Amino acid sequence: MKVRIGYGLGARTTLNDDGFGVVVDALERLRFDSLWLSERIGSEAPDPLVAMSFAAGRTTRLKFGMSVMVLPGRNPVVLAKELATLDRLSNGRLLPAFGLGVADPHEQQAFGVERRDRAKIFDEALAVMRSCWTDDEVTFHGERFHYDGLRVQPKPKQQPLEVWLGGIAPSELKRVGRLADGWLPSFVTPADVAAGRPIIEEVAREHDRTVPADHFGALIPYAHGPLPDALMAGLAARRPDLADIGALVPTGWDQLLALIDRFVDVGTTKFVVLPINEPDGAEGWVRELEVASTVLLARQT
């Protein structure tokens, strides 16, 4: 199976001006597989839909996705048309990935969805979007969305337009099995992936579905020095089940390569790497990517 390595900018990036284009150009020139944009209304990170469209317009090979785009709180029909258009204009380079949104009162307020309602809305919205992408007419009646004979054009260039989901909680693994075409969890270990994959595959079989064998991935944050205490505390709160929190964030290129190899050993082939401490501006990003290309892309087959 092919191993592919892309870069994520993360939710704390400040690349929201002309420096973003410089980084996009470097990713294309250095032949990384993909660019991934996070979504936070209250951060400096650029809007993923706008940023992906900008990236598509100045590249011909680079793929791009969201890590992740919040689905509850959006009009699924309008978003389906937007993403289908982007997929066509980019000649099929879109990698859509969706989530429920972080458990943050500020972000939840921005999207106007109560936390308890997110999962049901997510499931309905994704079903509506898939119908928009494949059916001549959309007829759907759920608790939140109702459509009769709705026509949505154009259709995506990719058929099917494959959807990626993340998460490692039991409910999230089951959702991947029921609804997703690929799995891209973050802050996980190879052991997490090895344990989660059979659950996803079993649930997929129960719903007469399959997740392609080469559609299991991981988002890997990495550092070049000691991890800040605040980050360690945040990771410990996020993963209280892990005795060695440092295992989630490799330090230095050698550790990152070794971790990628361990993920490959358990069948993971799609990677998004993310520097924990953002490089200094566009020039710092380009330097980071140039070194990364000589180190990491030997693993890309």
Q: What domains does the chain contain, in order, with CATH numbers? A: 2-297 (3.20.20.30)
Q: For residues 85 and 52, is the Cβ–Cβ distance under 8 A?
A: no
Question: How large a percentage of the chain has pLDDT more than 70?
Answer: 100
Confidence of residue 265 (pLDDT cuts 50, 70, 90): very high
Residue 103 pLDDT grade (very low, low, confident, very high; cuts 50, 70, 90):
confident
Q: Is the pLDDT of residue 283 over 90?
A: yes
Local confidence band at 96 (pLDDT 50, 70, 90 cut-offs)? very high
Give dist(CA 108, CA 110) in Å, integer. 5
Band the pLDDT of 176: cuts 50, 70, 90: very high
pLDDT of residue 173: 97
Token pair of 244, please? 């060695």
Average the pLDDT over 180-184 and give the result. 98
Share of the chain above pLDDT 90, in %: 88
Q: What's the confidence (pLDDT) of residue 270?
A: 97
Mean pLDDT of the 191-214 span: 97
Q: In which band, very low, low, confident or very high, does the pLDDT at 1 lie, cut at 50, 70 and 90?
A: confident
Q: Is the pLDDT of residue 149 over 80?
A: yes
pLDDT in tens, 226-236: 888 888 888 88
pLDDT above 80: residue 301: no
90 pLDDT exceeds 90?
yes
Share the mean pLDDT of the chain.
95
| C-alpha closest to that of 1 among 296, 297, 264 | 264
The reported pLDDT for the residue numbered 107 is 93
Query: Residue 186: how many CB atoms within 10 A of its CB?
Result: 20
Mean pLDDT, residues 237-265 taken together? 92
Each residue's pLDDT tens digit, 33-71 = 999 999 999 999 999 999 999 999 999 999 999 999 999
In this prediction, residue 242 has a pLDDT band, given cuts at 50, 70 and 90, of: confident
Does position 191 have pLDDT exceeding 90, yes or no?
yes
Q: Do residues 210 and 204 lie in contact, with contact meaning Cβ atoms separated by under 8 Å?
A: yes
Give the model's pLDDT for residue 50: 98
Please give the pLDDT value at position 71: 97
